[in-house]
Amino acid sequence: MRGADAIVKALEKEGVKHIFGIPGGAIIEVYDALFDSEIRHILTRHEQAAVHAADGYARATGRTGVAFATSGPGATNTVTGIATAYMDSSPIVVMTGQVARSLIGNDAFQEADITGITMPITKHNYLVTDENDLLRIVKEAFHIASTGRPGPVLIDLPKDVTVAEVEFDYPDKIELPGYKPKYAGHPRQIKKAAELITKAERPVILAGGGVVLSNASEELTKLAETIPAYVATSLMGKGAIPETHPLSLGFVGMHGSKYANYAVQEADVLIAVGIRFSDRTTGRVSDFAPNAKIIHIDIDPAEIGKNVDVDVPIVGDAKLVLRELIKHITYRKRKEWEEKVEGWRKAYPLRYRQDEKIKPQYVIEKIWELAPDAIITTEVGQNQMWAAQYFKVNRPRQFITSGGLGTMGFGFPAAMGAKTAFPDKQVVDIAGDGSFLMNIQELATCVDYGINVKVVILNNMFLGMVRQWQELFYDERYSATCLRCKEMSFEKIAEGFGAVGMTVEKPSEVEDALKEAFEIDAPVVIDFRVDRLENVYPMVPAGAALHEVIDEEV
């Protein structure tokens, strides 16, 4: 059979149900083979959106997402999506078309060295130079993407490989001598960690996205309850423990709650699980958790000691390590510490000033009240931080956001991916006007395929987070952040694509608008005209320590 037919058959063997992409000349053979497959292809309007959709699909399901693009600009358009998935350890396989092998290096039409371009932002990538390696490579790609620390894998397919004759002999298993992820933690290190925890008077768990990726939420919650210990999360760790749980402190870092930040800073033992200690989480590293002995559990040994010095490193899968760790822990109540943290929680709740304008925080509170089980995706900027602060996540894979790369334009196509995987669930993209404009063309995709996501735009007509920094740190010199050159109607734009558009300008209209949108069986865009100058608080300025928080008077 043709190489193209073998690729599609291999994808079927891997259990692929959906692919997001755009065809082109170099990958046209694969699309021809796909025509006869039961795999559902979603034709996006931009390759970046195709990769974000595959990424959202992967994050919502835990299964590997798949995206297709053609050569040259099709391939290079995938780069931001791949980098986004790489930074957040999301398992996706991206297949790109390439010019024929004889033309590679000749600056042929729509030729780009996509394996060279994506080398630093993929877990692994392949240029298929021999059709006889094709099926082995597909098998390896899915294995590498989804095992160990997950991540994106790219396969570049020269056109003549896809037309070459191959025998379909798909391997059942593979052997990669240089790739042996370590899952079980070392027993001696686990015992050391348990000894530290047992002696601790102020233990705090800091959970990252690795807990979600390894499906270790149940074990993490059990550990927290067994010690007991309060749990703060990174942005990517939201959902590691239900945020309505009495031990949950929400997320920590630049816009985390004061009580979460204070608890981390005052902890005497910090149990960090599946987290890479990004600068947005730690604040000034030299003053991060200054009183704590740090236990770091992570499947990627390269993360141990990379950003923060640790006292007890444990390399292994979060789920397996936590299961073992729990066996060594005995419950001991720490009344004084509990009273201190609860005092902070009472003294410094998340809050905002309410007046006659629509407050973005209020919109998110209402989304949570009306649809607490919805899958939430976010764009990037103020909208992302308000969503993280005010939407209380109940389960892993419910909150999908671009944490590492901070990609504006991610949330909407990621919502498409999540909704494709779970058509019966409510999926809401919480967006800013600036971010939504970066992939707004995907409204056409949603309408065409009946992907009925709801887009909630917190429209302040600014690139809001940059404007906030300009207000606070650049003497209100608002350079190139105002988006209101002319009045623009997202309602009419949505209607132009065939979606439902709504505009809301009063606080009294917010709840009814959301109720109506959630009942509509179609893609809906709600343009909430929010207070233009609202800022995200609390805030730890860049370069400050976690306890050096600025806040507004309410």
CATH number at residue 149: 3.40.50.970
Indicate if 218 and 302 belong to the same structural domain. yes
Burial class (CB in 10 A: 0-12, 13-18, 19+), 518: middle
Position 480 pLDDT exceeds 70: yes
pLDDT at residue 553, rounded to an integer = 77
Residue 273, amino acid? V
Active site residue 47: yes
Could you tell me if residue 258 is inside a domain? yes
Instruction: Give the span between the Cα atoms of 197 and 216, in whole angstroms.
Output: 19
Model pLDDT for residues 423-472, shown as the tens digit of each residue:
999 999 999 999 999 999 999 999 999 999 999 999 999 999 999 999 99
Cα separations in angstroms, 159 against 3, 28, 259? 9, 8, 57
Domain count, the chain: 3
Indicate if 396 and 459 belong to the same structural domain. yes
* Residue in 14, 20, 29, 47 annotated catalytic: 47
Position 486 pLDDT exceeds 90: no
Indicate if 402 and 460 belong to the same structural domain. yes
Bridge partners, residue 502, by sequence: 526
Active site residue 539: no
Could you tell me if residue 324 is inside a domain? yes
Indicate if 103 and 237 belong to the same structural domain. no
Indicate if 205 and 143 belong to the same structural domain. no
Indicate if 285 and 220 belong to the same structural domain. yes
Indicate if 102 and 233 belong to the same structural domain. no
Q: How far, in whole angstroms, is CA 515 from its chain's centroid?
A: 27
Indicate if 28 and 94 belong to the same structural domain. yes
Q: How many CB atoms lie within 10 A of CB 419?
A: 29
Could you tell me if residue 169 is inside a domain? no
Q: What are the tokens at 84?
A: 């986004």
Position 487 pLDDT exceeds 90: no
Beta strands in 139-221 (DSSP E): 153-158, 203-207
Look at residues 348, 371, 392 and tell me which one is the last residue of a structural domain.
348
- Counting residues of the chain whose pLDDT is more than 90, the rounded percentage is 97
- The closest alpha carbon to 55, from 377, 338, 365, 309, belongs to 377
Instruction: Give the span between the Cα atoms of 235 and 253, in whole angstroms.
Output: 8
Q: What integer best gives the mean pLDDT of the chain?
A: 97
Could you tell me if residue 319 is inside a domain? yes
Instruction: Give the span between the Cα atoms of 196 and 443, in whole angstroms.
Output: 52
Model pLDDT for residues 532-547, shown as the tens digit of each residue:
999 999 999 999 999 9
The sign one gets for the Cα dihedral 93, 98, 104, 107 is negative
* Residue in 123, 139, 159, 258 annotated catalytic: 159
- Residue 316 region, left (φ>0) first, then alpha (ψ -120 to 50), else beta? left
Could you tell me if residue 253 is inside a domain? yes
What's the pLDDT band for 507 if we cut at 50, 70, 90?
very high
Could you tell me if residue 553 is inside a domain? no
Active site residue 470: no
Could you tell me if residue 547 is inside a domain? no
Could you tell me if residue 170 is inside a domain? no
Contact 397, 242 (CB under 8 A): no
* Residue in 236, 385, 465, 539 annotated catalytic: 465
Model pLDDT for residues 100-155, shown as the tens digit of each residue:
999 999 999 999 999 999 999 999 999 999 999 999 999 999 999 999 999 999 99
* Residue in 9, 13, 17, 110 annotated catalytic: 110
Query: Which residues have CB under 8 Å from 307's CB, separation 6+?
Result: 276, 277, 278, 279, 282, 285
Contact 394, 244 (CB under 8 A): yes
Indicate if 17 and 156 belong to the same structural domain. yes
Q: How far, in whole angstroms, is CA 309 from its chain's centroid?
A: 26
Contact 97, 73 (CB under 8 A): no
Query: Which residues have CB under 8 Å from 105's CB, separation 6+?
Result: none
pLDDT at residue 108, rounded to an integer = 93
Model pLDDT for residues 391-427, shown as the tens digit of each residue:
999 999 999 999 999 999 999 999 999 999 999 999 9
Active site residue 238: no
What's the pLDDT band for 485 if we cut at 50, 70, 90?
low
- The closest alpha carbon to 94, from 29, 49, 35, belongs to 49
User: What CATH number has the domain bearing residue 307?
Assistant: 3.40.50.1220
Look at residues 301, 324, 348 and tell me which one is the last residue of a structural domain.
348
| Average pLDDT of the residues in 178-190 | 95
| Average pLDDT of the residues in 207-223 | 98
Q: Give 218-222's long-range contacts (Cβ < 8 A, gap of 24+).
A: 219/318, 219/319, 219/322, 219/323, 219/326, 220/273, 220/318, 220/322, 221/245, 222/322, 222/326
- Note down the domain range covering 426: 360-529
Look at residues 290, 321, 348 and tell me which one is the last residue of a structural domain.
348
Active site residue 109: yes
